[in-house]
Amino acid sequence: MAEKKTEAAAPEGAAGKPEVAAASAAAGGVKAWLPLVITVVSMPVMAYVMTNFVLLPKLKTSGGQHAEEAASGGHEAKSEAKDDSHGGGGDTPGGSSKSEGGSKTKYAVPMSKMIVNIAGTMGTRYLMVSVTLVGKDSKFKKKIEDEKDQLLDLATGTLSGKTIAELEKPGARNQIRTELMSVLNNALGGSLIREIYITELAIQ
């Protein structure tokens, strides 16, 4: 009878060993995956912590410094503007400096359709030119109007001395502009005319 009991008990022990091996194998598999699981779970947490407690405070402090610098620069510019407006400098009673003639305004007077015979053509060819005289003096228009007949005479005399070859050269317009400015300013007694615009130039 004792022999039978031991024989019957042997299968039970043999059957229990595979279960223990399977449990230990499962435990070993979980341990192998545990570092990966911890890493995957902890990465979002670390990213959140870094963003909220490290990066954002640095950005806020640097942004605040830039804002302070910009604000201080604005205050300096305003103070300089106040100093310029209240301080001296310039010839005007208010202390603000203005350009020659009292302002930066330009005054323009047209001299239209000056027609002259071209030199060397025996009266068969003529030149038609329209110009605009520009100055910065507040009395520019009045001075030009007062001397307009003399200025027209001088301008047409200068233009009538031009030959076909001179008019067809590159840069002829600039040459005409330079000569007219010199002649007309000499007549006016100074550099009253600052610019001359040639609005029309035709050879017939």
Query: pLDDT value at position 91?
Result: 39
Distance CA 114, CA 156 (A): 7
Name the strands in the sheet holding 126-135, side by side, starting at the edge strand that comes first in the sequence: 107-117, 126-135, 195-203
Kindly indicate the confidence band of residue 64, based on its pLDDT and cuts at 50, 70 and 90.
low
Residue whose structure tokens are 């201080």: 72
Structure tokens at 101: 């003639």
Residue whose structure tokens are 């550099």: 191
Claim: this prediction has a pTM higher than 0.85: no
Query: pLDDT value at position 150?
Result: 93
Query: pLDDT value at position 194?
Result: 92
Beta bridge partners of 202: 128
Kindly indicate the confidence band of residue 51, based on its pLDDT and cuts at 50, 70 and 90.
confident
Sign of the four-CA dihedral 188, 154, 144, 105: negative
**Residue 184: is its pLDDT beyond 70?**
yes
Instruction: Please name the amino acid found at residue 134.
Output: V
**Domain ranges across the chain:** 1-97, 107-203
* 54, 59, 70, 73, 74 from 65: Cα distances, Å: 17, 10, 9, 12, 14
Three-class secondary structure of residue 202 per DSSP: strand
Residue among 96, 116, 111, 101 at smallest CA distance from 159: 116
Q: Within a 10 A sphere around the Cβ of 143, how many other Cβ atoms?
A: 19
161-174 pLDDT, tens digit per residue, is 999 999 989 999 99
Query: pLDDT value at position 43?
Result: 77
Alpha helical stretches, state H, the chain: 2-50, 56-86, 140-146, 148-160, 164-167, 172-188
**Residue 76: is its pLDDT beyond 90?**
no
Instruction: Tell whether domain 107-203 is in CATH 3.90.650.10.
Output: no
- Residues 113 and 202: beta-carbon distance below 8 Å: no
Averaged confidence pLDDT in the chain: 73
Q: Which segment, 42-56, 72-86, 112-126, is predicted with the most confidence on average?
A: 112-126
Distance CA 37, CA 34 (A): 5
Once rounded to an integer, what is the mean pLDDT over residues 30-51? 75
Residue whose structure tokens are 């200068």: 158
100-142 pLDDT, tens digit per residue, is 444 578 999 999 889 999 998 888 999 999 999 999 988 999 9
In degrees, rounded to 5, the angle at the alpha carbon of residue 178 between the alpha carbons of residues 177 and 181 is 85
Query: pLDDT value at position 103?
Result: 56
Query: pLDDT value at position 88?
Result: 43
Backbone angles phi, psi at 200, to 5 degrees: -145, 140
10-28 pLDDT, tens digit per residue, is 444 444 455 555 555 555 6
Query: pLDDT value at position 135?
Result: 93
